[in-house]
Chains A and B, each alone.
Chain A
Amino acid sequence: MNLTLHLVRKDWLRARPALVAWFALIAGKAWCVWSLTRSTDTSSDLAALGGFVNMLNGLETVTGAMLAAWLALEDRAHSTIAFWTTRPIGRIRLLRAKSLGALLFFIAAPLLLLAPVWLAAGFSASDFFAAAVDWALLQGFAVALGLLAGVLARDLGQVFIGAPLLGLALLGVAAWLRREPAPAAGWSMSLGLAVAVIGIAAGYSLRRRGLALSVIVVGFLLVAGCGLPILPMDEMLRPWSEPTRALQVGESHGSAPRIVSYVGFDYDPQGHRGLLMQNTRPWISLRRNQQTHGQTNELPLQFTINDPSSGKPTVLVPRRLGTVQAASLRVSRWHLALPEKLKVPANGIRLFATPPPGFAEEMYKAQFPHGLHP
């Protein structure tokens, strides 16, 4: 057997009980959230569920990071007493084994577990991909942080102290690069992940712990410095939404009142801006909106339906029941009181949401005061 895989297998055997428990937590949470959001209609229930899910999300992410740190500490990179140091195991092989193990245990295996839940929730291929990228990015960031802390720390105690500090430092560098008070999570995490991966490689490659720490600190500063010229390009790349286009967000079947799932804008580089979801379903993957930094569900959208009998648009007054965020999944539920006179045909009616007039222009001006093409 390939020696790298042999080391991965050793880590699997070591952490198997803990990893299985972690997988159970992930699968259990996904199933639990899915089933609960389908059956919960009241705002108080949904708010309680949101808190519960947030707690599980935190537990899932933190546990994953700690498990990764633990696996790194099992074969400490900078130790004069670690077993591997006097065995025919090179540093690069150890790095390869730990990286491969992290990918398999903390990214690939959980995604395989989540796949059936997402498929059952009716995800399209693009939803699935977006959700997988979102999940992998968040988890990858946490795991890379855990690994980095495990590589640099001497024991789990140092990991508990160091990992949050490292996380803050990485996000701080990323936020500074973006130079915004609230950087888009995807961007920050991608940058943080990149820095963490470089740090892990340095940690395993360099024999001296002090030198590895120094390289990582210098690496932070270099990445931050190199990021400056990227800023103007970054602004060029940012999308903005169609200002007035009505967004078809769902279908309502049966009689009023209805619970409707809602999502907001998305950016499509091909120019098809705005339209994100066409069907009502209890679970919707939300790709974080670049303009609003994932706050799309807070937009004061106006919901309308076209009265099938008259064909005229009718404004609905929405009442948001709550939002559940589960890693890449964000579900907002709205209570829409349909007009009493409205006759809903058997094949349902279409529901539209329109951003308030001038919304997109305001967002655009707030973010790019000098315009995209000064």
Chain B
Amino acid sequence: MNIIETQGLTRRYGRQEAVHALDLVIPAGGVTALLGANGAGKSTTIKLLMNLLAPTAGQARVLGVDSRKLGPAQFRRIGYVAESQELPLWMTVGGFLNHCRPFYPKWDRDLERTLLNQLDLPTDRRLNQLSRGMLMKAALLSSLAYRPDLLVLDEPFGGLDPLVREEFVRGILEVSSLGDWTVLIASHDIEEVERFSERIVLLDTGRKRIDESVEALQARFRRIEVSLHDEPSADATQDLPPGWQEFSRAGQLVRFIDRAYSPATTEAACRARFPSAAIAAHPMTLREIFITLARAGRAEAKLAAA
């Protein structure tokens, strides 16, 4: 069963289109990251999925229910943590958990205690006395103790300093082993997301650019360096394959990014242009891939506008 499905999901604010005809399928299990720059439409997508906003067109189904009909029965199975979410800051951590507990018949007191220990949260401290990271951890705890089927994290790292961010990520990594939940995380913090995501959905100006597993994505992207031994022919740098991006030459070194890397095909394509060159293929981080795609997206948008 798919936990989330969207068909042509669109949301407009006046003339501005925040999400454009998004088709998305997230099966049960695993961690999916919704990546994109600021304003890419990640949070709007999450809000549409959580029935916090109404779609302008298209529809979304969450846990098998139309997102517009999500109610208490579904929210008992959904954990939601967002940077922007209001929390009852006047409560202590213990009081906050006491407040949340009655709403969830499946609340697991043992898991609550385990999470309290793992996340190192002081139950007697008021939420407004906690650091940003601790606050997010408290919100995470309150969204995990009932073993949700779906955990949604919307920009959970926003405003966290590196140390707290590390602490929070470690917390997520630790708790992710405690349950069998599907996690959807929207963020622009690629390095953090890379550590625990299994699948990436990349949004750019409200449009889906990438939707594949991290493994497959990293396997097909390579930074290629070609060391030339002699001057290539004039047409060697003309009509480049469509998967080659950011092609540049500095002296005897040619660099580009191959978006459709396969050892044999890429080498063959290089040899055809640079017969006597040394070819090296370097793996790319998710961040480098993201930047490459963002640049390509902007270039395409400019081209389309022209």
Contact = CB atoms under 8 A, between A and B. Distances in A.
Interface of A: 1, 3, 6, 10, 13-14, 74, 79-83, 85-90, 93, 207-208
Contacts of B88: 10, 14, 74, 83
A6 B100 contact: no
A86 B80 CA distance: 7
22 contacts: A3-B103, A6-B102, A6-B103, A74-B88, A80-B52, A81-B85, A81-B86, A83-B86, A83-B87, A86-B50, A86-B75, A86-B78, A86-B80, A87-B75, A88-B73, A88-B76, A88-B103, A89-B72, A89-B103, A90-B71, A207-B54, A208-B54
A88 B75 CA distance: 5
Interface residues of B, number: 25
A294 B103 CA distance: 49
Contacts of B71: 88, 90
A85 B52 contact: yes
B104 interface: yes
Contacts of A3: 102-103
B185 interface: no
Nearest to B73: A88
A86 B85 contact: yes
B87 A80 contact: no
A13 B99 CA distance: 11
Contacts, number: 51
A85 B75 CA distance: 9
B255 interface: no
Given A3-B102, A10-B99, A81-B82, A86 B52 contact: yes
B86 A80 contact: no
B96 to A, nearest CB: 10
A86 B184 CA distance: 15
Name which of B71, B76, B82, B88 has the most chain A CB atoms within 10 A of its CB: B88
B100 A87 contact: yes
Contact of A1 (B54, B78, B102): B102
A84 to B, nearest CB: 9
A87 B71 CA distance: 9
A89 B72 CA distance: 6
A85 B53 CA distance: 11
A88 B53 contact: no
Contacts of A82: 86
A80 B53 contact: yes
B84 interface: yes
B47 interface: yes
Nearest to A76: B86
Contacts of B247: none
Contacts of A80: 47, 52-53
B103 to A, nearest CB: 5
Nearest to B103: A88
A131 to B, nearest CB: 36
Nearest to A1: B102
Contacts of A1: 102
Given A90-B71, A208-B54, A83 B85 contact: yes
Name which of A1, A6, A83, A93 has the most chain B CB atoms within 10 A of its CB: A83
Contacts of B99: 6, 10
Contact of A90 (B47, B72, B87): B72
Top 8 A-B pairs, shortest CB-CB distance = A88-B72, A86-B80, A80-B52, A88-B75, A88-B76, A88-B103, A81-B84, A90-B72
Nearest to B77: A88
A80 B80 CA distance: 12
B84 A87 contact: no
Contacts of A79: 86
Given A79-B86, A86-B75, A89-B72, 10 more contacts: A6-B102, A13-B95, A80-B52, A82-B86, A83-B85, A86-B52, A87-B75, A87-B103, A88-B72, A89-B75
A235 to B, nearest CB: 47
Contacts of B84: 81
A80 to B, nearest CB: 4
A74 B99 CA distance: 14
A14 B95 CA distance: 11
Contacts of B75: 86-89
A10 B72 CA distance: 18
Nearest to A91: B71
Nearest to B90: A14
Contacts of B73: 88
A79 B86 CA distance: 10
A86 B52 CA distance: 8
A86 B71 CA distance: 9
Contacts of A14: 88, 90
A208 B53 CA distance: 9
Contacts of B100: 87
Nearest to B81: A86
Nearest to B70: A86
A79 B85 CA distance: 10
Contacts of B78: 86
Contacts of A13: 95
A86 B54 CA distance: 14
Contacts of A93: 72
Contacts of B80: 86
A13 to B, nearest CB: 8
Contacts of B85: 81, 83, 86
Name which of A10, A14, A87, A93 has the most chain B CB atoms within 10 A of its CB: A87
Contacts of A10: 88, 99
Contacts of B52: 80, 85-86
Nearest to A93: B72
Given A80-B47, A80-B52, A80-B53, A88 B104 contact: yes
Nearest to B142: A87
